Copies of this chain bind each other. A is one copy, B any other.
Amino acid sequence: MIHVPKNWYNILADIPFELPPDIPQPVRADRPEAVKPQLPLALVRQSMTRDPLVPIPESVFEKYLSWRPTPLRRARALERHLGTRARIYYKYEGGNASGSHKLCTAMAQAQCYAAAGARRLVTGTGAGQWGTALAVACREFGLACKVYMVAKSFHEKPYRKTIMRLYGAEVVPSPDPRAGRAAGRGEVHAGNIAFAVTEAFEDALTHEGTQLSVGSGEAYAILHSTVVGLEAAEQLGPADQPDIVIGSLGAGSNFGGIALPFAGRKLRGESDVRCVAVEAESCPKLTRGRYCYDYTDGSGVSPLQKMYTLGSRFTTAGGHIGGLRYHACSKIISALHHHGVVEAAAYPQPDIFASGALFARTEGILPAPESAHAVHGAIEAAKRADEAGTAPAILFCLSGHGLFDLASYEEYLNGTMADVPVSEEDIRRSLAELPQLDGQAVR
């Protein structure tokens, strides 16, 4: 009998170094309201505590029971196809109403905001996994919900909009084609997640009882996602704990959710597990970004956080990377990477989709493009192990299903899926717009 955890795991209890502090933005005379406190005290506490275990509120735990524990499976058919000696396990998070792991933090956040008196939550979403999860959670906790969806995804994945509407959310494309002004920047640029969050932030600032909820990156979003890794550890049992743990990296909740409970063991000297964050080659913040202070959204009013970043105005050249299209990596995972506790890898888009299709054919679940990054990472890890003559246990998070992403798989089947490389010049140009203090980038 596998139990749903009663607590989240907080890696802040185990890290032996200090996290660089956030830098609040000066209050701007033209937008004094833009720095008013937004976060419920419960979420602030969850972000700041050094307790290793943070109790899951009873009402959130009850919601978790409606879809947790999620399955932990061994990918035997995939193993046979690869002819690998590695044991490949996956934790499947796509079986819930929202179709991804995002529901773990969506439920927790909706509960906190509702308890703090909010009547309506707004958010930005990329491919739509987060927006769908928040729509479900808002319905469960009696909140209204509005989702600003990156325009490219809004138009390419119309059914994402439908499912969010079915769950009761209002959904609009970002940037709003009718809007002339965006919060704090005075200019509308092509859609990306940072900008969608900015538009949602603007909405929250100008509507009573409305709060901005964000799906990844923030410490509490990663904390809430650790139920994934905690469950997996119990499901695997003491006999076959993983040698390698792999998660896709957008901003951090996916990778952090599966990996941090294991990274904590490593920090405590209980194992020498390798934790590998797999990012898109077209959005390579950990592998090619800079570790420095940056905005977490595109507004220029959020506090600065020290992160691996490509710059908050970075826009990918295209491709189908969905929720991985975020310019930075959360400060906690960035710090863990900076200190060598977790690793990172980036792979080209056609290879990612080939692995996603192979997984569907062997294991019978079509991975979301985001999740296919972890699938590919696991396959690569198995191949490297076979070359080295080792036989590790590999665990990865299959964070969501790809049934909303079939247009991209159709492109793969037709052989028209392009590689989407990022030039050094692209990165240099984007990093040139990092926030400055006294005329200098903030280190």
Contacts and interface: CB of A to CB of B under 8 A. Distances in A.
A114 interface: no
Given A95-B95, A404-B403, A361 B167 contact: yes
Interface stretch (A53-61, A253-261, A297-305, A406-414): A406-414
Interface string A85-129: 000000000011101000000000000000000000000000000
A364 B96 contact: yes
Contacts of A423: none
Contacts of A2: none
A361 B166 contact: yes
Contacts of A365: 97
Contact of A364 (B66, B158, B357): B66
Contacts of A95: 95
A318 to B, nearest CB: 20
What bracket does the count of chain A residues touching chain B fall in? 20 to 34
Contacts of A158: 406, 410
A162 B364 contact: no
A163 B161 CA distance: 21
A6 to B, nearest CB: 22
A48 to B, nearest CB: 33
Contacts of A136: 364
Nearest to A163: B406
A319 interface: no
Contacts of A168: 361
Nearest to A410: B162
Contacts of A165: 410, 413
B166 A97 contact: no
A158 B136 CA distance: 27
Interface string A126-168: 0000000000100100000000000000000011011101111
Contacts of A99: 403
Contacts of A166: 357, 360-361, 366, 409, 413
A409 B161 CA distance: 11
A163 B96 CA distance: 20
Interface string A350-365: 0000000100110011
12 contacts: A96-B364, A97-B364, A99-B403, A136-B364, A158-B406, A158-B410, A163-B366, A163-B406, A166-B360, A166-B366, A166-B409, A403-B404
Given A158-B406, A163-B406, 14 more contacts: A66-B364, A95-B95, A96-B364, A97-B364, A139-B361, A159-B406, A159-B407, A161-B410, A162-B407, A166-B360, A166-B366, A166-B413, A403-B403, A403-B404
Interface of A: 66-67, 95-97, 99, 136, 139, 158-159, 161-163, 165-168, 357, 360-361, 364-366, 403-404, 406-407, 409-410, 413
6 cross-chain pairs, A with B, having the tightest CB-CB distances, nearest first:
A97-B364, A159-B406, A162-B406, A403-B403, A162-B410, A165-B413
